[in-house]
Amino acid sequence: MPDELPLHEDALPRQRLRAGLRVGFALGSASFLLAVSFGAITQSQGWAVAGAVLCSMAVFSASAQFALVSALGTGGGVASAVVAAALVNARFLPMGVAVSGALRGGRLRRAAEAQAVVDGSWAAAHLGGGRFDRRVLFAASAVQWVLWVAGTALGAVLAPSPHLLTSLGLDVVAPAMFMFLLLDAPGAGRLYWTTALLGGAMAAGLSFFLPAGPALIGAACASLAALTRPLPQSEHRGGPRRRHTSDQPGTEPTQ
């Protein structure tokens, strides 16, 4: 993430909100191009423009939506398509549990706030030690949602050829986005890189025997490597605070 992103809870609320908007715009720019591809594919399958846009508004998940159109495009029924999309989105269950401590209010409000949990925003909002910045999470997701819906509408209206999208390289936008998220980990230790490389190797190996979706789900087992080492004592207390260029006098934490 940019150097000015406040990764601590002592930053001013307005700073954290602006940081979330910047992150959301960076991630949403890539998602916008991917959404154009989704909108175009729905038109090649005979979807109504309104149906494609409503799907993006409600689902707001590239992986689930592409699984949905893929299942329908290969002759599967609506039930099988919904199951495929639900399985792909199952990753949000542990992500939601992890971020639950940052949510507020009663059950309905917390359920509504949990809708902001998407991959890029979740990673950007992580403060370390199991803590999340709710302002970064909400701001980043809000920007991405707008760009995702707008990209879907543009792709559905213009309906560019899927072959054109492939020739422009839009089919690699999502992998590139996650690669940047992976590489943007200042101070990451050996365990981080071991887990990341193990997950990549497992995904590549499983892809020879399984479709892409199950291969990625199987690769998630690499995260179990994190259980082999207990958290350092400093992380149990919230972890060391990293100083950023946006720190202002008076926002330093008290010791």
Tens of pLDDT along 26-50?
Answer: 888 878 888 888 898 888 888 999 9
Q: What is the rounded average pLDDT of the residues 124-152?
A: 89
Cα four-point dihedral sign 208, 212, 216, 217 = negative
Give the span between the Cα atoms of 153 and 237, in whole angstroms.
Answer: 46
Q: HSE on the CB side for 137, CA within 13 Å?
A: 25
Give the angle 55-22-140 at the CA atoms, nearest 5°.
Answer: 35
pLDDT interval class at 67 (50, 70, 90): confident
| Residue 229 identity | R
| Amino acid 250: pLDDT | 39
**Is a pLDDT exceeding 60 seen at residue 224?**
yes
Number of H helices, E strands in the chain: 13, 2
Give the span between the Cα atoms of 116 and 28, in whole angstroms.
Answer: 14
pLDDT interval class at 3 (50, 70, 90): very low
pLDDT interval class at 195 (50, 70, 90): confident
H/E stretch holding 31 reads helix 13-44
Q: What is the rounded average pLDDT of the residues 204-226?
A: 71
| Amino acid 72: pLDDT | 81
pLDDT tens-digit readout, 78-121:
787 788 788 777 878 888 888 888 888 888 888 888 888 888 88
Exposed, middle or buried by CB within 10 Å (0-12, 13-18, 19+), for 11? buried
φ, ψ for residue 10 (rounded to 5)? -90, -10
Q: What is the DSSP secondary structure assignment for residue 253, as one 8-state letter? A: P
Give the span between the Cα atoms of 146 and 144, in whole angstroms.
Answer: 5
